[in-house]
Structure 1
Amino acid sequence: MPKFVLCMFFLLATYQLQAQTWEVGGSLGGAGYIGDLNPNNPVKISGPSAGLFVKRNFDGYLSARITFSYARFAAADSTSSSQQFRDRNLSFTDGVKELTAIGEFNFLKYIPDAGPNKFTPFIYAGIGVAAYAPRAMYNGQGVNLRELKTEGQKAQYGDNTVVIPYGVGIKYNIGGKFNLGADIGYRYTFTDYLDDVSGTYADKSKLTGVARALSDRSGEKTGVYIGTTGTQRGDFKPRDTYFLLNFTISYTFVIQRCYFQN
């Protein structure tokens, strides 16, 4: 576990407020991304997500949680409404594993099985780290794109990035100490290579084999390749983003003798 995530959670977990409880749960949902192959649709789901979390609830309004999530998302120029994108003909899939430390704020005082409210909307933000690995299908086989350096990079881009998660949601006490929830959260990343696309077309004379073929896929169907060296391949924006749409179920454990006060 990254030290900054562990330290943040330890400090929050030992902060003394009334009505402290622990909560454990899991989530299922969908994931999507916004980047060079999908610049304009911030709610396009293209794969599944799942997660597990441990949460410390403090006073009915504030809580902190550690979450491990896995998400898959994808995009293909061939499905775009833009002729320019279809001509480019790039595609990818990515599987992201993330570990985050997140703080939540409830708009209504929410203490399962004891508080005055059965539900509350909430907002959240935090910090974390995500490992990513873009791949593409080529001749019926999945290919790892990072090691190919398809844009002529001198070195491979990294395999992980710091992420800033933020989002909104709603939670509901379905009975006893069980809770259902739904939220949507975006991850601001510090990489432009979730999709293996960022800048310009490489000099194909300096690439070989699969790297050369996947650096410019525009002519696979037409035989006409448009990827001239140095011309635009990505959208030139410095960061990619991804999001998770989660549906959660959790159980709350009472660990303080003063569980609820009005």
Structure 2
Amino acid sequence: MVPDDGSAPDDGERRPPTGRQRQPSAGHQRRLSTGQTVELPLECEFTLTGGVFPASARRLSAGLPDRLSPVRIAPRTGAVTLASIEYHYVGGLDPYDEFAVIVPVVADSRTDLPGAQLVGGLVAGSVGGYVSYLPVTTEASVALGREIWGYPKEVADIEIHDRGERRRTIVSIDGERVVSLDMRKAETSERGATMRSFTRMDGRLLGSRVALGGEFALTPLRQRASFSLGDHERADELGKLGLRERPLATLYGHRMRARLHPSRELK
């Protein structure tokens, strides 16, 4: 993270949050092409800011695997989550930063009717997020995401500025800005949830379970987050999603914890 006052980064920002002892996992180990060994399920701790923005359902559908449909909030409208993630701890790797572009989806949905589609997906356990773009700040984190889960990671410059009540994230590649995200913090409470994450690897549709916990706030219909696109070609791709400026909800979490389970092919 880059302090807004221009001072040197505080090493404490990169230390794992205190007050909780990590228990040895009963999982298995994977060695990455970059040489690091990680244990699965993967344990992470992080700070999160983000917003959920309306987007064109037709354009979102064009970029999804056949079995996934964007969650409809209106007949022609889906959503995209833009999230800035500052990892303080990632088992087996040095901490890194990440910017996620995630499309809320339903797998194998029988209807696109708003409301009915989401309810049916929740009952079937088929609601999740399809990760369409995931820039990160280290090569090791690229290997981690691509080799184990199929996440579409690539190395980028990610600056996270903390301005008291606000956090600003700037993503750039080769000196060209891709996207900026501004977020006003919210009051949090301890929460936990389990979600599904969908990816595509070698032509196969994969799903994985992600268990989340920590101090978190989801604030609906409030102008707490905004984004702007830059001039890089990746920004052009995001612009083609038909993103709208006013968020449906904003996300803020600190002392967050996640356990990422290995992915499995959807049958």
- TM-score norm. by structure 2 comes to 0.30
Greater radius of gyration (CA):
1
